Amino acid sequence: MKNDETSVRDAVSTADDNELVELGVAAAATAIRNGEITAESYATALLQRARKYADLNSFITIDECAVLTAAEAADKARAAGSSAPLLGVPLGVKDSYLTRGLRTTLGVEVLDGFTPAEDAEVVGTIKDAGGIVFGKNNLVEMSFGLTGDNSRYGQVKNPYGTDHMSGGSSSGSGTAVAARIVPGAFGGDTVGSIRVPASLVGVVGFKPTTGRWPGGGVAPISHTLDTPGIFARTVEDCALIDQIVTKDVTASPAAGSDLKGARFAYAPKQYLGLIESETEAHFRNTLQRMRDAGAEVVEIDLGEDFSVLADRLTWNLFFRETMQAVSEYLRRHDVPVSFHDIYDGLKPELNGVWSELVLPSGPGYISQQTYETALSVDRPELQRRFDEMFTRGGIDALLSPTTPSPAPLIEQQATFTISGEEVSHLVLAKNTVPASGAGLPAISIPMGITRHGLPVGLEIDGAHSDDRKLLDLAHRVGTVLDDLPAPA
C-alpha cells in the first residue's frame, strides 16, 4: 500500500479525469495548495464519476451546484494565500451526520425532506479545514444492519462485484471511496459499521477509540459504543483526517519500510473458529509477510468465554441504548419526527427487530439489572483482558481477518454459507465486535483479493487511546502488502 502523494506530479501532469479521481485526500489537498490542479477541476471530475456510477447507490443526496460553488470558493481562498489542510477536497458524509442546508435522512423515508440548520461537529471541523461536503452517503436504515440494503434509497453495491454486498451500515461511504467517487468519506461504527464495509469493498476503514472523535450531530445507536470514523484508500489519509478532527499535534505515521521491533498477536481460538478458507489463507500469508519484515507475531488465547462475553455485552448495549439515544438525538437537534414515527416507518424486518429488542415492551428487551451488569461487570472484564494482552503481554496490536469471508451475494444477504455452515449476516461483525465492546481503536486495511476478485480485509486493534500508534503500525503493515487493484 503505497503513499499516493509520491505520484501526485505524475497523476496531475495531464490532469485528465481518470487520473484526478485516483488522488487520495492528502495528495489532492497538496495538488490544490500547490496550484497543480484547481479545486473546481477536481470537483468536476468527481461529480462526473458520481454520475457515471450512480447505479452503485452510494449516495442519497449530492448538490452539484453547492459542490462547485464551494470548489470555486476554495480556489479563490488558495489564490488569497490559504493553506488550509483540506482546502478544496470533497469528502463523502454518511447520511446519519447532520449537514447544514443539505438534507439528512438517516436512511429513512419519514425524513426524506428534512434539512438541518446545523452541522455535526465533525462536519463543521472538516469545513473549517477547507474540506467540501460532496454529498450524503447511503446507509442501512438508522444504521441498523451490515448488508448495505436500504428499502427506500436502494441496495448499495460492491464495486468489485455489483451482485455482491457492500457491507454496512456505512455502506455508501465505503463504496464511494472504493469506486473513486470521493477520496474519503465519513461513517459511523458501533459494532463494525466502518470496518465491515471497508473489508468487503477493499478500502481502509478507521474506527477511533470510542470518545476520541466528537459525536455531536451524528445519529446514534448506543452512546457507549458509537463513534464516527473515516474511510480512505490509504492509512496516511485516515491519519490526516484523525489529526484534523482531534486537533492532535502528534507526528504523522513514519514512512517505515519494515516492522522491526513491532510485536503483534493473533488469537485463532477466538477469531478463526469460523472462517472461509481463502480468507484464512490470505490472513496466514499476511502473518508470514509481517514476520519476514521483522515483526514478532505470537499466538495467544483470550479465554474460552471471550467471544461469548464480547457478543453478550456488545449486543446488549447496542439494543438496550437505542431508544433513549435516538429519542434524545431527535429532541436535541430539532429533528421534526418522533422515535415512534421512525419506528412505524421502518421496513418490516427492521420493525420486527425493534419490536422485539429495542422497545421496552419487546420480549427480548433486557432488564435494567442485565444492562447494568453489562456496563459494570462484562465490559470491564473484556477491557481487562485486552489491557492484560497489551501491557503484561507486551503486544502492540491484535490481528484478525476483519470479516470471516469476502462479500456475500446480495441475493444471499439474509443467510449465506461459510465453510459449509449456514450463518446470518450478523456473522460479518464477529471479529469487529470485541474492539467495539471494549471501546478500542481499530482499523481494517486490504490484505488481498480472492480468485473471484473480491477484497479481503485485515483488522488491526490497538490499545485504548493509542490511536496514533495504531495508525503508524497499520501504515507499516501496509508497506509489506500488495496494492489492491482498482475495481474494474
Cα–Cα distances (Å) from 326 to 99, 126, 318, 353, in that order, read 17, 24, 12, 16
SS3 of residue 115 by DSSP: coil
Q: What is the pLDDT of residues 238-277, one digit of tens each?
A: 999 999 999 987 765 554 568 999 999 999 999 999 999 9
Average pLDDT of the segment spanning 458-476: 98
List Cβ neighbours of 58 (8 Å cut-off, separation of 6 or more).
Answer: 92, 137, 138, 156, 171, 172, 173, 175, 176, 179, 181
pLDDT of residue 257: 62
List Cβ neighbours of 245 (8 Å cut-off, separation of 6 or more).
Answer: 122, 125, 126, 213, 214, 228
Average pLDDT of the segment spanning 306-322: 98
Strands (E), 174-310: 184-189, 204-207, 227-232, 263-266, 296-299
- Give catalytic residue positions: 94, 169, 193
Average pLDDT of the segment spanning 336-346: 98
Output the nine-digit C-alpha cell for 341.
414515527
Q: What is the pLDDT of residues 143-197, one digit of tens each?
A: 999 999 999 999 999 999 999 999 999 999 999 999 999 999 999 999 999 999 9
Output the nine-digit C-alpha cell for 368.
435494567
Average pLDDT of the segment spanning 366-379: 98
SS3 of residue 231 by DSSP: strand
Average pLDDT over the chain, rounded to an integer: 95
Average pLDDT of the segment spanning 3-17: 49
Homologous superfamily assigned to 15-478? Amidase signature (AS) domain (3.90.1300.10)
Pairing of strands 455-461, 397-401: antiparallel
Does the pLDDT of residue 10 top 80, yes or no? no
Output the nine-digit C-alpha cell for 9.
506530479
Does the pLDDT of residue 2 top 70, yes or no? no
Average pLDDT of the segment spanning 399-408: 98
Domains of the chain, by residue range, sit at 15-478
Q: Are 59 and 92 in contact (CB under 8 A)?
A: yes
Confidence of residue 17 (pLDDT cuts 50, 70, 90): confident
How many CB atoms sit inside 10 A of residue 127's CB? Answer: 18
Average pLDDT of the segment spanning 202-222: 98
Tell me the residue type at 326. Answer: V
Does the pLDDT of residue 304 top 90, yes or no? yes
**Secondary element (H or E) of residue 48:** helix 39-52
Average pLDDT of the segment spanning 48-66: 98
pLDDT of residue 256: 55
- pTM of the entire predicted model: 0.95
Q: Are 170 and 221 in contact (CB under 8 A)?
A: no
Look at the block and give the residue holding cell 479521481: 21
Does the pLDDT of residue 14 top 60, yes or no? no
Residues in the chain: 488
**Secondary element (H or E) of residue 373:** helix 368-373
SS3 of residue 195 by DSSP: helix
Chain-centre distance of CA 284, in angstroms?
Answer: 24
Output the nine-digit C-alpha cell for 481.
502488502
pLDDT of residue 9: 43
Average pLDDT of the segment spanning 9-15: 44
pLDDT of residue 251: 60
Average pLDDT of the segment spanning 199-228: 98
